[in-house]
């Protein structure tokens, strides 16, 4: 069995593990899983470094949590950038698409797999993300391959494939997320492994670490005839027939299998002659990447991150940390949305400003937050949503419901209705009614139960809004006002408080 065959078996196995975890968490089977539902994200070094820079400390749950990323870090220092081509399910998907669209003629394949200066773009992307994270704006989830793949599977693939209540489950903006995934996969027809070679910030991070790897591909110049066949199936475009670019090598071993003269081998600490140890990144482009990160954080902050401009519809999941810290931790992976049994958690648009795009928010018209559910906190890999118990959740308030008397049937149209009161799940009920008798248009008396909200009892679950019979804009709606997660922050508490003295 060739080492290439072994590598393919590993890729298939890890992709199957990823798919199984995705489907199992979508089926709310967390309690039966022998491993974490966010296992791949916990192994992601970029997630660990990015959240550590933005939140100023490494969050972990259970025994290790994000500390699992140290294994990938150490493995890269020993084996090189093997994670990209042996473990990463997103990389395996790109490789498969590239195989479907690859050129037929060997010479065309060799030309397509030659290194291009544009491949250095991923290092500029990495620099911009890390600088922004250091300034408190965590955006690595936009292009981190594991975050991107998780988010795409949750909001686009599973609903479209009918694997999770496709008839009723949907995600706002899911077509944009799915379209981005399709575009990146389709780009492989133009440039093999386009995303991995040109945009992937995780690949860039591992490429920098692979500079110090103990094992790497070595070319024996005495045996090499410069035939170029080693480049015909090179996954990283690392130029194995010339000066090997260590930061681009994905350790796929295709070059070793394709070399007819045995000039290539995977060796321990081979001579460094004939290698390009560092990425060839233009200094001006690097400066632009750093400048982009420096500019993004303050500009994004004034777009809506300030607690003084919080959006009423930015209702976060129960257990979420305070908003500013939430934006420093959330990687937009969509795990919480996938496990949510009512589909209420949706990817945000601009509710939380530009840096809050695709972070989770409640849309109560789609579904209510179940009182006895804490699944979202169980799968969050960074602590943006804390793990809380059911007992702790009963003390959590994610918002407050408000009536629109101009749309409420008993208030505006003298029509009996108590649906919201019936749907309220808390005890005692946060919605109560006042009985009044009015004279109808026909002159006959009508007895009405006009509902009102007790804000001291309302937890913002949205059951009332979801059940409201007014079909378009509900007569009762939940906003983030009064949420309890902001009480530790003086300014946030003042701006999101509802009752004086509370």
CA dist., res. 178 & res. 200, Å (int): 18
CA dist., res. 369 & res. 339, Å (int): 12
The residues, ordered by sequence, that sit 6+ positions from 110 with a Cβ below 8 Å of its Cβ are: 228, 229, 231, 232
Return the structure tokens found at 82: 């093997």
CA dist., res. 200 & res. 206, Å (int): 10
What are the domain boundaries of the chain? Answer: 3-276, 400-479
Whether residue 383 is preceded by a cis peptide bond, meaning omega within 30 degrees of 0, is no
Give me the CATH topology for the region 400-479. Answer: Alpha-Beta Plaits (3.30.70)
Give the alpha-carbon dihedral of 354, 150, 8, 209, to 10 degrees. 40
- Write down the pLDDT at residue 232: 82
Q: Which stretches of 102-157 are DSSP H helices? A: 106-112, 121-134, 145-152
**Residue carrying structure tokens 């419901």:** 401
CA dist., res. 404 & res. 399, Å (int): 16
- Write down the pLDDT at residue 498: 66
Residue 300: closest CA among 50, 127, 479, 133: 133
Return the structure tokens found at 443: 């002159």
Whether residue 428 is preceded by a cis peptide bond, meaning omega within 30 degrees of 0, is yes
- Write down the pLDDT at residue 304: 62
- pTM score above 0.95: no
Q: Which stretches of 334-414 are DSSP H helices? A: 335-339, 375-379, 390-393, 409-412
| DSSP conformation class of 193 | T
Provide the β-strand partners of residue 463.
none
pLDDT along the chain (502 residues), means of 10: 86 94 79 78 92 78 67 92 94 90 76 86 93 91 95 91 67 93 92 93 94 87 82 85 85 87 86 79 78 83 61 89 90 94 93 89 94 91 91 92 95 93 94 91 89 94 95 93 69 52 48
- Write down the pLDDT at residue 417: 94
Chain-centroid distance, C-alpha 360: 10
Q: Which stretches of 210-334 are DSSP H helices? A: 254-258, 283-300, 323-329
3-state secondary structure of 434: strand
């Amino acid at each position: 069995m060739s080492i290439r065959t072994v590598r393919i078996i590993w890729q298939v196995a890890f992709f199957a593990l990823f798919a199984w975890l995705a489907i199992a968490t979508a089926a709310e089977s967390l309690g039966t899983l022998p491993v974490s539902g966010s296992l791949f994200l916990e192994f992601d070094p970029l997630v660990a470094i990015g959240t550590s820079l933005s939140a100023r400390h490494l969050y972990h749950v259970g025994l290790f949590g994000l500390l699992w990323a140290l294994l990938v870090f150490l493995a890269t220092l020993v084996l090189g950038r093997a994670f990209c081509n042996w473990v990463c399910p997103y990389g395996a998907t790109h490789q498969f698409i590239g195989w479907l669209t690859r050129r037929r003629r060997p010479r065309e394949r060799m030309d397509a797999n030659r290194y291009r200066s544009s491949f250095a773009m991923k290092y500029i992307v990495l620099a911009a993300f890390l600088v922004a994270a250091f300034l408190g704006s965590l955006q690595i989830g936009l292009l981190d391959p594991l975050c991107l793949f998780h988010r795409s599977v949750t909001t686009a693939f599973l609903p479209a494939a009918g694997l999770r209540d496709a008839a009723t489950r949907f995600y706002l903006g899911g077509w944009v997320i799915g379209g981005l995934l399709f575009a990146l996969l389709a780009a492989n027809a133009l440039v093999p492994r386009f995303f991995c070679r040109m945009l992937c910030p995780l690949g860039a991070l591992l490429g920098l670490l692979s500079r110090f790897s103990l094992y790497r591909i070595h070319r024996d110049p005495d045996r090499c005839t410069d035939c170029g066949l080693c480049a015909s199936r090179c996954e990283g475009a690392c130029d194995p027939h010339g000066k090997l670019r260590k930061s681009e090598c994905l350790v796929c071993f295709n070059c070793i299998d394709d070399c007819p003269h045995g000039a290539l081998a995977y060796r321990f600490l081979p001579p460094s002659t004939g290698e390009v140890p560092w990425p060839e990144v233009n200094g001006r482009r690097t400066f632009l990447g750093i400048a982009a990160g420096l500019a993004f954080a303050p500009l994004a902050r004034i777009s809506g991150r300030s607690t003084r401009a919080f959006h009423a519809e930015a209702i976060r999941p129960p257990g979420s940390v305070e908003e500013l810290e939430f934006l420093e931790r959330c990687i937009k992976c969509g795990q919480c949305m996938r496990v949510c049994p009512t589909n209420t958690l949706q990817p945000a648009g601009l509710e939380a400003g530009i840096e809050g795009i695709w972070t989770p928010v409640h849309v109560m018209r789609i579904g209510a937050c179940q009182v006895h559910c804490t699944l979202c906190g169980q799968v969050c890999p960074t602590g943006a949503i804390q793990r809380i118990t059911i007992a702790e959740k009963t003390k959590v308030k994610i918002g407050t419901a408000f009536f629109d008397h101009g749309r409420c049937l008993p208030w505006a149209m003298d029509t009996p209705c108590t649906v919201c009161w019936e749907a309220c799940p808390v005890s005692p009920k946060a919605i109560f009614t006042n009985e009044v008798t009015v004279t109808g248009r026909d002159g006959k008396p009508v007895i009405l139960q006009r509902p009102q909200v007790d804000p001291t009892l309302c937890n913002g679950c949205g059951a009332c809004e979801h059940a409201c019979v007014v079909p378009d804009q509900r007569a009762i709606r939940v906003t983030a006002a009064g949420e309890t997660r902001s009480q530790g922050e003086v300014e946030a508490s003042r701006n999101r408080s509802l009752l004086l003295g509370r």
